Every structure is written in structure tokens, then in C-alpha cells.
Homo-oligomer: A and B are copies of this chain.
């Protein structure tokens, strides 16, 4: 196993065991499973730091140890499993994702990336292969953010964007503290949480969208995570009797909400903001009676854009529209307030890591498409400290996710993990003199490593 650039000798293509991967995915999906009353399907509810999460974590740690990995838990409860490299002084290649879930999940979101990396280690073991750099599997804590309200929590603290104190003091809906719950389930580790930047980070994840299915390809290479803006808009009008109040005297908060929903779709359709996506997921009126003009309406506006400047333009124009909204009513008195819920900039992934994925995929006979991730992932946190990219795997049923109907076929899961495997092999075979333009800090400690 040698690596010489530019005439690289790639390692033999690693085959993984798709059946074993599938079997592990299905076994983990039993932990926290429930029967979904709407679909009749078995779903997964394994929210972070619950008993179910602890059971899932213990299953994973057992599997890691059986695969000969050196398991460490950091102060955020993130689980790392290290397979030593031929040169232990080289920075490792990290592959990971998460095993916590939303309340109504399927078997694949996050788990594919973690159990896929585990399957790669098992296959390396089966085939007696060793890599030059260490390989590390990471299972990040609280990626979903549904229990404690901040997503990508473990990776964000590891990357230094959030502090440990911030994370520990988060509370769930019942007032339970993150730090206490981490302690309670026995996963408050001692490894310092701020991660030493790895050589590279690669995450395999289900797409959670319909693009790969529509384009009839199993594999996607992710170019980055788009900018995300969440805000809540609260409208105060004036309650009035539906039968007795002339239209010209109405300040209808529900109508104003509807005007916003229609407007944001018009903004998307206008093409003026590049690849803007806009979603109003939540609309509610109060008092919510058929015969009362709503005095209050609330809605959420989710804007996404792969381009930060076009995102800024969309946000600016949307704010300007909100300013004019009272004038669109027949009668003065509408009050408009906004509350910022979340805002992240576009995170571009490392071009060279994308190239390595592309070559691995091509060698395996795939013709992957490149696409932007619409959803947030731990990879966007790792991108701040290491060359990072992602592999997406096609989902069925329009790519539905966060739902028991979430499904990727065994073949597609195996295809994605095989691409990940061969990507990791190439990256782990790299010496320190190969260029890493995108690294946030030069890998000066690796200059003696040839």
C-alpha cells in the first residue's frame, strides 16, 4: 500500500459486506423503535441522551470494540473509534455521522454514516488490510437538535464554534440539563472535546431529498451546505366578528400571513435570488374560530441559498416586504414582528476531497452527480477545521426523511459505503506533502512525513 503523487497507485478496491452493513442498520433500528400509528410502519425514536440513545450507544461501542477499535468518549459524549495506521504519527482520516434521531425517524439518517464506517473497518479486518494513516469513526452527540434545541451540537463544540458550557447548560422541554443527562446515561467522557484537526473528514449520509432518485443515480458528491435562515414572523391584527365587520375596517392577521406565504414563493419563482428555496412550514392563527377575524398569526420562514450574497438579497427584500405589509391591509393597525431562529452561512466543501470521492466513485463504475446539501450535517462543522466533503446515498419515496417511510435500498447503502471506503483508503494513503489548500491551518507537524 503505497501512495505516490501524481502517478498514484491506488490500493486495491475494497469490497465491503453489504449484508452485514444492512444487518447492523436493522439491528440498531430496533433500539428506540415504535409502531407509527399513521403509516403502520416501525419508526425510530432515539433522541439524544435518552435511555434508547444510551442503549444504541452501548450497542455501537460493543461493535467497535469487537472490530478491534480503540474507543474514546469525549466530554460531549461523542464516541470515537480509532483503527491505528501504519504511521500512528500521521493525522487520522475521520469518517462519521450520528446515531441520535428525531422523534419520528427511520433507520438510515446518520446511522448509515456511522455503521458504514464500522463496516469499512470490519472489511479491512476481513481482508487483512492496513492503512497508512489512522482511521477514526466518529458518532457525534445530538446532531438532530430536537431534544436540546441546537443541532450539530457535538461537532460544533468539537470544532470550537460552541463552548462546552453552552452545551452543558442547554435544557430539554422538561427542564433536564444536557450535562446532567450526559452524566446520567454514562457517556460524559474525559477526552478533551476540542478536536485536533484531522487529515480529512468524510461523511456518508442519505440525501433526504429527491434529486438522486429523479436523476436515477445511487451516489451524489456534496459540494457544500447551503446557507440557512430561519425566522418566525408574528402578526398582530384586530379580532373582529366575521359577519358584522366591514372588510374595509379589518386588520386580518391571517390574511397578512397568507400574503407572506404567497410572496416568498413568488420570490423563489422570480429567479432573482439564484437557487433560493423558501418554505413556510408552520402557520397558525388565533383565536382560530370560523367566525372571528384572526387577531394574531404566526408563521415560520425557512430560506435556503447556496450563495451567501443572494441569500442576503433575499433576506433584505423579504424584510422590505414585511415593512410594506401593513400598507397592503385595508385598514391601519397591523403589527409585524420577526424573531431570528437560526442563521448559518454557506459552507463550501473541500474541492480536493470531492475529487477523491469522484475518482473513487468513477473507479467503481458510478456516474455520480454533484449537489448541494439542503440540510445541515456534522460535516459542516468539521469543514471549519479539516478538508471535508460528503457522499450522498439515494433515498426512495421522494427521499422522504425524518419519517418511518425513510428508505434507501440495501444496494444503494452498500454502493455509498463502498465509495466511502475507497475514498477513505485514498485519503488515508496520502502523505503530508500533498496540497491542502483548503485547510484552515497548515499541517506543519506533518512535514517530516513522506
A356 at interface, CB cutoff 8 A: no
**Docked pose: A245 CA to B279 CA in angstroms:** 10
Would you list which residues of chain A between 238 and 283 have a CB under 8 Å from chain B?
238-247, 249, 252, 254-255, 257-262, 265, 268-269, 277, 279-283
A289 at interface, CB cutoff 8 A: yes
Taking CB atoms, residues of chain B closer than 8 Å to A211 are 244, 246
Cβ-defined contact, B374 with A209, below 8 A: no
Taking CB atoms, residues of chain B closer than 8 Å to A432 are none
Cβ-defined contact, A230 with B262, below 8 A: no
Cβ-defined contact, B281 with A285, below 8 A: yes
**Docked pose: A288 CA to B238 CA in angstroms:** 24
Cβ-defined contact, B261 with A210, below 8 A: no
Looking at chain A, what size class is its interface with the partner chain? 35 or more
**Docked pose: A401 CA to B207 CA in angstroms:** 52
Taking CB atoms, residues of chain B closer than 8 Å to A210 are 240, 244-246, 249
A297 at interface, CB cutoff 8 A: yes
Q: In this complex, what residue of B is CB-closest to A264?
A: B255
A214 at interface, CB cutoff 8 A: yes
Would you list which residues of chain A between 126 and 181 have a CB under 8 Å from chain B?
none
Taking CB atoms, residues of chain B closer than 8 Å to A289 are 281-282, 300
Taking CB atoms, residues of chain B closer than 8 Å to A302 are 242-243, 290-291
Taking CB atoms, residues of chain B closer than 8 Å to A255 are 261-262, 265, 280
Taking CB atoms, residues of chain B closer than 8 Å to A226 are 243
Cβ-defined contact, B265 with A262, below 8 A: no
Cβ-defined contact, B283 with A297, below 8 A: yes
Q: Which of B245, B281, B287 contacts A291 (CB 8 A)?
A: B281
Cβ-defined contact, B277 with A247, below 8 A: yes
Taking CB atoms, residues of chain B closer than 8 Å to A277 are 242-243, 245-247
**Docked pose: A241 CA to B291 CA in angstroms:** 34
Taking CB atoms, residues of chain B closer than 8 Å to A254 are 261, 280-281, 283
Cβ-defined contact, B341 with A239, below 8 A: no
Q: Which of B207, B265, B293 contacts A279 (CB 8 A)?
A: B293
**Docked pose: A207 CA to B244 CA in angstroms:** 8
Taking CB atoms, residues of chain B closer than 8 Å to A292 are 279, 281, 402
Against B, the Cβ 8 Å flags (1 = close, 0 = not) of A278-320 are 0111111101111111100100101010000000000000000
A residues at B contact (CB < 8 Å): 207-211, 214, 226, 228, 230, 238-247, 249, 252, 254-255, 257-262, 265, 268-269, 277, 279-285, 287-294, 297, 300, 302, 304, 341, 373-376, 398-403
